[in-house]
Amino acid sequence: MKYTQLGRTGLKVSRLVLGTMNFGPQTDEADSHAIMDAALDAGVNFFDTANVYGWGENKGRTEEIIGNWFAGGGDRRDKVVLATKVYGNMGADGDVWPNHDKLSAVNIRRAVEASLRRLQTDHIDLYQFHHVDRNTPWEEIWQAMDVLVQQGKILYAGSSNFAGWHIAQANEAAARRGSLGLVSEQCLYNLAERRAEMEVVPAAQGYGLGVIPWSPLHGGLLGGAIRKEREGGGARTTSGRSGDALANTKVREQIQAYEDLLDGHGLEPGEVALAWLLTRPGVTGPIVGPRTREQLDSALRAVELELGEELLASLEEIFPGPGPSPEAFAW
């Protein structure tokens, strides 16, 4: 496994992030534990989750599965850089109670204590804001987070789904308090969705945040969707976001060109999509959410995959980015 610093911090993390969103809804506890065992054995030390994972009536279930794995003993917790998130309402769907969501000091305190209980640990390494809260001032948010740092309950703060302006707002407010501020941004970023390059990635680089892309295969679209559709193994790609995307003629032609290119090189689409992200400036590592051990093994191979300049140029032709950013906004 290869490692890098998380943004401007001294924290070393693996260049692959184990996403756990499927643990519970898609993958049972025993298989989830087996995947975590295999990931740790392979050197993956960065695990990402969120308090709302489990979804519906089972919100928090994913954190519980991870907590039970930590309780299995050994030095698992010491080896893992644990990241979770706060923002979403933890009540049953439709049961939204005031102050039980978003980023007020009240909810941050409540949410972190609940996550610690479910995760069966005394601290969270990276506590991430799952979304921006436009109704809570940053002074309040950072005061709450500073208290948690002082108590040893969290070590670093990160963001998710922030615009570049939100990153600037957050870190300028933190600087006024003498706080470390955000050290990472988790955003939608992949070959087929490169809008983050316009201003999120430049802002993250400017403020020293590590970029952690989620949905690196764009909901399966970059994982050989057309091939799986043709072979009858695309149950997850013929519905939802990928299915809707492939119904668009232009998108289908783009994905077909992508798969044809990689077939010519004898490469797997999903592995190339991950490897491409690892070549991008500012990227710490993509989040992969394996449902099976085989999917994890494929992601691990991507870390060692070297993409040549010719192949990178061909990928750029199929999936052109916005150009030099943030200057792409100017003329």
Strand 12-14 to 3-5 pairing:
antiparallel
Inter-axis angle of helices 249-265 and 309-318, to 10 degrees?
170
The helix/strand/coil state of 252 is: helix
Closest CA to 51 of 108, 104, 133: 108
Catalytic residue among 53, 87, 156, 189: 53
Does residue 53 carry a catalytic annotation? yes
Q: Catalytic residue numbers?
A: 53
